[in-house]
Structure 1
């Protein structure tokens, strides 16, 4: 009996071993690999690419966009995000435990209105401080990109008219030129409002606008009002002039952003050539009148022009509520500094003081509780310094009067780099002042 029980136990043990062997994994099979868990928030990289594109459309330089994206990524605990920014798009690369992933978004090429720029700056601050979640930030960013301008088409045309008259007054024209500037400013503003920015006609609009403005100025308004056509042509085309693009290009070049700076510089020069082509075509069609030397206004009229330019920017670019006094303060500060620089330094180097004061004042205003963001006040200042206008006036004089205005084109290059140097100096001084202030606050807060 005992031998039978022993045999039964041995048989059961053998069955268990055989069963365990049959159900064991085969030696040639690999164990399941557990995918590493990503440490990057799934909304971070899409937000960075979308945010970078919006910052480009808002008019920021490539180096400033890269710095902003780096701050956002660092604020959310990830230092393995790299961004490469060019004027046409943003490339973001992320190091995940599972490998390297790359994300790209292309720029729309449509410039933001000033109220969109203000809302974008507030959104970036909220993301950096963690006031909103990344998913909510993406939803707000999508709404911001499609938001309509604050003012409608009628006020946009009025704003463009004020801009034209204001910039014309800064050139100290005669009394008769004011009505011509208003007519041309309204016509050009109407064309800018009616032609969709995404249509094929928008590409040819600079040439068509410069041709029509030059024909009207040379054949109709100039002889009728007794004014020099050049005084009428340039202010009417001021919103087509690439002053901001050329200034941003030189800033990028001085920051070693060669690809972005060179491409933006070529774009700005191409815009100047398109405008000049329309003027040359008008000079072929219409006979150039004899030069007119009217009696200009006094120097005081330029300050009236700056006031009109401020109001025109608010209406045409749909500035945020309450920003008119701050935009006026910034423009007047830059304009006065540039006027002082033309006396102390030279007209070609006066942009250094203008650019320096422009950046310092705009940054100080942005620190105030009721002050608008820096870009809202600084972007109009880029147009007021108008380095693009200097080059366009030179090309216009060559086309209409045959004047050898090569020196004016050289002055434009000098003005570009003097403005950029002033902006860089003002930015450096502002950053150093902020660092000293933070250091002082930390020391005073220590027990």
Structure 2
């Protein structure tokens, strides 16, 4: 089936709407916004070129009759609802196949944008809590870490739910949450250094806010030549990280604690193997609920989490942490790219997300900053140096994994590709 060529007004309005939604779902990278928008324009007899930065894009739309219009689209990349990303995959495939008209496409896209969240607020609360609890054993494999996270994670989850109803709070949410979590952690849980340093006790509860995805996405964009987009995203990721850091320092000041307490003292592990294994299930369930991923994708995400952790652990023993992270990223990206080809399966972004989080990139930055603030200059610089190395290894690994399995027929909206426009285009 071939589309009848769309007129310029309808085509421009639809492509601007599509671009805005793609921008909002580009927290993991704006790699293929141009590809998705250009392919959609061609499906309706037109053409489109874009100049993209993380929160906006300028589109030049050309209709079949040669008339041209330039429009702008805006969409802030934040913590997104991945049910919308999941709905985009069959939608883009139907357009490419010529199964819908531009009017139908615009109405269908509007339904995706306005669809209610798949889970109620209390399940989102539970999701953020489980997300923290599942991550806790990766920070310290102790029962005390899990107990502490149950309390601090509930506090963080309550703020996440509240921010959904108070948009102004969301702008400073990392700062507010880290300050409150810091105060509670220091006052209630950080009295015994043998149970772990205060930052290690706080990290699982703050992990939802740590911009490890933005840090890695910015590095990946720089690696594939999206200089403007990557640089801007890197600055924003640093800003979010500094908010968390300042919140922890506020907690230190309010409680009158010495900054020297910020040194990372790790406790001796006492979790059995079964608890570590169960942590993967808890973490995946939390990811599904916290990021509004359709629950039918739980099992495939769980497998990818276990594969990622297993590959990283194995190769870390063989070629140290940087090499283990690189190999795990290659395997994760390649697996996600191959599974993305299944029409009824989840899109690449969802497939990568849960496994990516287990690689714990962003927490290194926060630990480095707080260690520096505690006066431990050498250790803090070592943590930050490690952050740069691990982020680079992870980002290049994702690029390599997708490049090894890349096909021209991919319909997913997040495949890294060399840029085809200048000055920040994707």
Going from structure 1 to structure 2, the CA distance change for 1:180 and 1:253 (only over 3 Å counts) comes to: same
**How does 1:143-162 map onto structure 2 within 5 Å?**
143-162=111-130
Please say if residues 172 and 298 of structure 1, whose CA atoms lie closer than 8 Å, have aligned partners that are also in contact: no
Aligned to 2:419: none
* 1:389 and 2:363 matched: yes
So what's the TM-score if we normalise by structure 1?
Answer: 0.82
Query: Given the superposition, is the C-alpha separation of residues 98 and 426 from structure 1 closer, same or farther in structure 2, using an over 3 Å criterion?
Result: closer
Give the structure 2 partner of residue 45 of structure 1.
12
Task: State the 1:175 CA deviation.
Answer: 1.5
Tell me how far 1:99 sits from its aligned partner: 5.4
Instruction: Name structure 1 gaps, 5 residues minimum.
Output: 1-37, 436-447
Kindly tell me: are residues 399 and 174 of structure 1, through their superposed partners in 2, closer, same or farther at Cα, counting changes over 3 Å? farther
**How far apart, CA to CA, are the structure 2 residues paired with 1:146 and 1:226?**
50
Gaps of 5+ in 2: 411-426
After TM superposition, list the pairs within 5 Å mapping 1:300-311 onto structure 2. 300=273, 301-311=275-285
Which residue of 2 is the match for residue 376 of structure 1?
350
For residue 276 of structure 1, the aligned residue among 233, 240, 245 is: 245
- Rg comparison, structure with higher value: 1
Contact 1:251 1:424 in 2 (8 A): yes
CA shift, 1:112, in A, is 2.6
TM-superposed CA distance for 1:252, in Å, is 1.0
1:324 to 292, 298, 307: 298
Segment drifting more, 216-225 vs 242-251: 216-225
Q: Distance in 1 between matches of 2:10 and 2:193?
A: 60
1:355 to 329, 338, 351: 329
| TM-score of the superposed pair, with normalisation by structure 2 | 0.86
Does structure 2 retain, via aligned residues, the 8 Å contact 1:180–1:225? Answer: no
Secondary structure at the counterpart of residue 150 of structure 1? coil
Structure 2 counterpart of 1:171, from 139, 147, 172:
139
Q: Of 274, 295, 298, which residue of structure 1 is paired with 2:268?
A: 295
> What is aligned with 2:403?
428
Partner of 2:202: 233
> Which deviates more from structure 2 when the two are superposed, residues 382-391 or residues 269-278?
382-391
Cα distance between partner residues in 2 of 1:155 and 1:212: 22
Distance 1:410 1:195, change over 3 A: same
RMSD: 2.5
SS at match of 1:135: helix
1:87 to 54, 73, 97: 54
Q: Partner residue of 2:152?
A: 184
Secondary structure at 1:196's aligned position in 2?
helix
2:218 to 227, 238, 249: 249
Provide the residue aligned with 1:23 in structure 2: none
Distance 1:168 1:197 in 2: 28
Question: Which of 259, 262, 275 is matched with 2:231 structurally?
Answer: 262
CA 1:175–1:110 in structure 2 vs 1: closer, same or farther (change >3 Å)? closer
C-alpha distance 245-294 of structure 1, shift in aligned 2 (>3 A): closer
Contact kept? 1:390, 1:409, Cα under 8 Å: yes
Other-structure match for 1:20: none
Q: Which has the higher contact order (CA 8 A, sep 6+)?
A: 2
Deviates more, 1:284-293 or 1:154-163: 284-293
- Per-residue displacement from partner, 1:178-204 (whole Å, max 9, x unpaired)? 111011111100110112376222212
- Alpha-carbon offset, residue 128 of structure 1: 1.3
